[in-house]
Structures are given as C-alpha cells and as structure tokens.
Chains A and B, each alone.
Chain A
Amino acid sequence: MTEVIPLARLMQGNEAVAEGALAAGARFFAGYPITPSTEIAEILAKKLPAVGGKFIQMEDEISSMAAVIGASLVGLKSLTATSGPGFSLKQENLGFAALAEIPCVVVNVQRYGPSTGIPTATAQGDIMQARWGTHGDHPMIVLCPASVQESFTLTIQAFNLSERFRTPVVLLSEEIIGHSRERVVLPDLSEIKIINRKKPPAGLDRYCPYQADADGVPPMANFGEGYRYHVTGLIHDESGGPTTDPKKAESLINRLNNKIMDHLDEITMTESLMTEDAEIIIFAYGATARSAKSAVKKAREMGIKAGLFRPLTIWPFPAKEVAALCARANAIIVPELNLGQLIGEVERVAGLDTRVTGINRVSGEMIRPDEILDAIKTEVKVKKHAK
C-alpha cells in the first residue's frame, strides 16, 4: 500500500505563497489585481477572514503598499503581492518601510517587461529593481524561490527575516513558478519556526523607537500598545523626530544597512550541487536553476566536472560564497531571463581570475537545459585551448 501523506498536495506557486503567508502568521493583505500574481490576492481574500485576518483590495498599487505598512505598525504581519508594473509603483513606500523599519513582505511575481510587456510571460527582469528600485541607500533582502515548495518555505522565511530585522523583504517569484503546479508537502504548523518582532520591555519611562540594540535592530512597539512615538520617512534621530544633523543622518543610514550586512549568516541561503570538485559552475537562481540543475546532471554523465550554485537569497548578494566558488572553479556560467543583471555581481566578486559568461534570454521563454549544457561544453573547449 502506498503511504498517504496527508499534507501533500498539488499546488500552484501563487497558492503556496498564500499558504506560506498564513503559516507565517500573516493576518493582513492589501493588494491590487495584476497578472501573474492575482491568485495570491484571490486566495487570501477567502482565507484571511476565515482566520480572523483582514484582506483589502485597495484602489491602486501605491495604496496597497501604504496599507500594508499601516497594518504592520499596529501589529499585524502584513503582505502585498504584485508584478512588474505594480512593483514599480510600490517603490516609494517600500523605501518608507525600509527607512521607518516597518516589517512587511512584498511578493513580486515577475513578468516580462519593461512597461506592460507581456503580462503572461515569465522573466527575471526585476533583479536590480528589487535591490535598488527605491531611491537612496537602503537595505533590502530579496529571496528567490525555484519551486512551488520553496514558494511556501521562502514566504515564511521572508516574514521571519522581516520581523527579525524590522525591514521589508521582497519575495521575487516568477510567472512560471507562480503558475506552475507541483507536489507540495506542507509541514505541520508546529514544525515551522516563526520569528516575531522584538518588543521593548513594558513600563519603560521613555521608549526610544529607533534606539537599536547591539544587533542594530531597535525593539518595536506596535502603535496602540502604550508607547506613543513618531514614525516618519524623514531622516530621524533615535526618538523618531526629524533631523538634518549630518552625523545622525549618516549614523542612521549606516545602521540600517549594517543591521543586514552584519547578519549575513542569518540571511544568506544558498544551495550547492556537486560544486566541491567542479571546474565549471552554473550560478542560477529561480526557475532558471531548474534547467541548470538538469544540465549539470547531464554534464556529469558526460564526465564534465560541472556544478550548480543556487542563491535563494539574491540580495544581499552572497559574495563570500561566490568568492569561495571562484577560488576553485575555472568558469562560472550565469543563465538569466534578462540581459545580464545578477551576473554583474558575480563578475565583481570573480575579478579577472575566473571566466564569467552569461546565457541571456528575453523572449519570455525559459532557458532550456540543453542550452546550458552547450554553454558548459563551450567552456570545456575554452579550457583545452587555454592549455
């Protein structure tokens, strides 16, 4: 008799995001319809009220992001979901959340752009926008799922990191993941590790909302809990009040970025497949890594020492891990569904000693495993010539 796993289901990527959000404890969603992310809103419109949560379809993308920040400030774990054009519209308030240190999760199911592009075609075109879309120097954590299962687990992780570091986290999915259906095993809720925002102790004479602990993260009181304080998108001092003092401004921006960069061990998630002895490494993220995995296995069958390195956290960029790869490998191939976005970071880390080449596609189609395999074979030839 086959074993029945009660929590195994066939699920769509967007549905897994919605389930992950609920499992993480999200109780507020504000959004605006946009392909290919709409299912997340539709599912949460049904499921949130059933668990006492709140769903609201706002008048636009900008207000959705604003409402999410407002809801988080009074204590509900909150998210919004969108795609390219909507992600562009959310950028200003995303920056507000980063500066005011309001935890929240923004799901961007990437679609072909720029502009309206091809709404139903997949892409990885928002890699740099996810990092630098809002103006000014700001921290940003961006996670990239490669499967439906990972859409679930990384959504939970996105909430955890957001609460841990009081910062917005972007879950950067893709049309092909959001709309694919795969087998998913949902863990029991008791097995899921949940992180909640650090609270100040009760009964303080004076609560300083932006006075950080040693880890760079200030404890966060929710509005309505008794500590009255000011939140602003202006540069502020530890009391939350606006300031233009150069020293205070610099110290705030440095702290915001350092609270992330000082805790990469908690944030950086990567996966390596046969990279130990690999001479040629594929650096791939999201759905492209699925093709890459297949290509690497085929290459190994042919006796080529290929490996796959897959960042689940693409921002902050896993520079330390990539540097370690570069120390071992002769070549790194970076397939991306864009004209070369994250490859720039790989090149920066690789320097001149390791060859870095891209495979780029902007047709709205996936990069096939055989195309990556061809690129691997080319690298083998290059290596022979070099000898």
Chain B
Amino acid sequence: MQNSVEKYLRTEKLPHIWCAGCGNGIVLGAMVRAFEKMGCNQNNTVIVSGIGCSSRAAGYMDFNTLHTTHGRALAFATGIKMAKPGIDVFVIMGDGDAASIGGNHLIHAARRNIDLTAIIFNNQIYGMTGGQYSPLTPPGSIATTAPYHTIERNFDLPELARVAGATYVARGTTYHAAMLTNLITAGAAHKGFSLIEVVTACPVSFGRRNKMGGAYDMLMWQKKQAVSVEKAKSMTPEELQGKFVIGELYKGAAPEYTEVYDRLIEKAQGKSEEE
C-alpha cells in the first residue's frame, strides 16, 4: 500500500545520498508530512535549494524543483515568486548556505517580507565538504578548519531573520519531528517571509569530532538542550545559557512584497490612485 506521503517523493531517486544517522531525512519527512497536511498542489509549488547536503532534499521531492548555486537559493526564489506570485515557494538551505555565503540574501528576503517559506537545515557544520565551521557552529567546537576550536560567535538565525523583517520565525529539531511538521505547515500558511530553523544532526562531520556520540546521542542532545517557547518564558538568561528555544518564536504582520508590487502595477497602469 502506498504511504500517503509517498506521492510527494521521487521514489525512483532514492536511496538518498545522506550518511547513516544524518538528520536530513527527518526534515525531509517533516516536509512531506506538512505537504500532506496542507493538501499541497504539487504542480503549483516550487522547491528551491542551495548547495550542500541539505539542498539535495529538493531533488527527492516530486515538485518543480530547482537546485541552485551556493547561497543563492533565496535570490532564485525571489525571482520565481516575483514573476508568478500565485506559485507557492519553499526554500531549502543549510546553515553555511543560508547564514554565510547567502546571508545577504537572507536578510533582504526577510526585509522585503516576500512570501517564501525558508527551511534551514542547521547541522552546525559544512557537512558535504567534510566538516568546516559555519556561522552557526557553536563557539569552542572542533572543525577541520578549527582544529583547536572555533573562536567565532554563532548567529541566532531566527533572531537575525526577525530583526531583518521576517514575519514568521520558528525553530524546531529533528527530535521534535511532529512539532517540526506543524511549524512548517504554519510557516507555509503564513503570508510573508517565513523562516524555520531546524536543528539537525551531522554525526559524521560534527558529532564525531565534538565527542557528541552517534546519531541517537545527538538526537538526545537536541531533546536535552531544547526549551519550548512557553517554558523559556519562565527561565532566567542564566538558565537559558547553552540552551536553544524551539517553537513559534515570532509571528507578525507586514505588507507582503508581491502584493505590494501588484498594487504598484495597478498604479503604473493608472487603475488605482492609491499610493
């Protein structure tokens, strides 16, 4: 019997390229469950991705899929959404992809509040190139390019997106997989720029070097370190040190870019006097 989410997958492209224990498959699973939940129109949906392990997820899904250049997924997606606002656009990026080489596009997509749903697979490392530190690698971690330890502070990506203008911001983990499906569904339903950061495990290129154990231990680490939005409210900054907050972190309202542009077209065509 066909699983109800299987229709969203290009099963002929499986098995995937990810290592045993990688969390990316869990994120992919949460995505297709979210598609099922929202009754997604595959023909009218585009999934754009950047470069890295996570970005291979696009190719496994049966949609209009666009695997772009490193860091530029949001820029390609902006062109798509702008050209055809009626199309639903999801954007898959990794932490290095979205926060380092693509950081500029991230803040500007957020600032425009363009209706894209960005899902950032945060495994805290450059996995595909073998374990170099990213802007989301916690300070003090070991990476191939930080053999002593990383000395750079890491971004709080949802916070960065929020202050840049994103109107839906959330964080989930691969441990809390059911919650992740809900966050993706809510992010997709939200009109405007949505960002969902997903803490996921890279046992091979991050966990191993940082003595975090195997895939199971890394999932347990997520469970231990994650604090729900509700619980975080009653905790002091000291208590939250080293933890990360999960759930719906921010939901706001602002004009959506393509809708505003449509009104500008009406004005340019003399159909409306509205500013």
Contacts and interface: CB of A to CB of B under 8 A. Distances in A.
A28 B67 contact: no
B75 A230 contact: no
A127 B110 CA distance: 37
A223 interface: yes
Contact of B79 (A46, A70, A96, A228): A70
Which 4 A-B residue pairings sit nearest by Cβ, starting from the closest? A70-B79, A67-B79, A63-B75, A66-B75
Contact of B75 (A62, A76, A78): A62
A229 B61 CA distance: 10
Given A63-B75, A70-B77, A93-B72, A230 B83 contact: no
Given A224-B84, A228-B43, A231-B67, A58 B78 contact: yes
B105 A233 contact: no
Interface stretch (A49-57, A252-260, A264-272, A280-288): A49-57
A223 B79 contact: no
Interface in B232-266: 261, 264-265
Interface string A76-115: 1010000000000000110010000000000000000000
B83 A228 contact: no
B265 A230 contact: no
A323 interface: no
Nearest to A27: B83
A69 B76 contact: yes
Contacts of A233: 67-69
B218 interface: no
A368 to B, nearest CB: 43
Contact of B59 (A46, A64, A232): A232
B62 interface: yes
Contacts of B43: 224-226, 228
Given A67-B76, A230-B65, A232-B59, 20 more contacts: A28-B83, A30-B79, A49-B264, A59-B108, A60-B104, A63-B75, A63-B104, A63-B108, A70-B75, A71-B80, A71-B83, A72-B79, A73-B66, A76-B83, A78-B79, A223-B46, A224-B86, A228-B43, A228-B65, A229-B65
Contacts of B86: 224
Interface in B42-86: 42-44, 46, 48, 58-59, 62-69, 72, 74-80, 82-84, 86
Given A49-B264, A74-B83, A224-B43, A63 B67 contact: no
Contacts of A71: 79-80, 82-83
A344 interface: no
A241 interface: yes
B115 to A, nearest CB: 14
Interface of B: 10, 13, 42-44, 46, 48, 58-59, 62-69, 72, 74-80, 82-84, 86-87, 104-105, 108, 261, 264-265, 267-269
A50 B268 CA distance: 5
A382 interface: no
12 contacts: A30-B82, A52-B269, A64-B75, A67-B75, A69-B76, A74-B84, A78-B79, A228-B43, A228-B64, A229-B64, A231-B67, A233-B69
A228 B72 contact: no
| Most chain A CB atoms below 10 A, which of B63, B66, B69 | B66
B13 A241 contact: yes
Contacts of A316: none
B75 A228 contact: no
Contacts of B72: 62-63, 66, 93
Contacts of B82: 28, 30, 54, 56, 67, 71
Contact of A49 (B65, B78, B269): B269
A192 interface: no
A75 interface: yes
Contacts of B10: 230
A231 B65 contact: yes
Nearest to B80: A70
A229 to B, nearest CB: 7
Contacts of A69: 76, 79
B79 A66 contact: yes
A50 to B, nearest CB: 4
B26 to A, nearest CB: 22
Given A49-B264, A58-B75, A230 B69 contact: no
B29 to A, nearest CB: 20
A231 B66 contact: yes
B42 A228 contact: yes
A10 interface: no
A50 B78 CA distance: 21
Contacts of A30: 78-79, 82
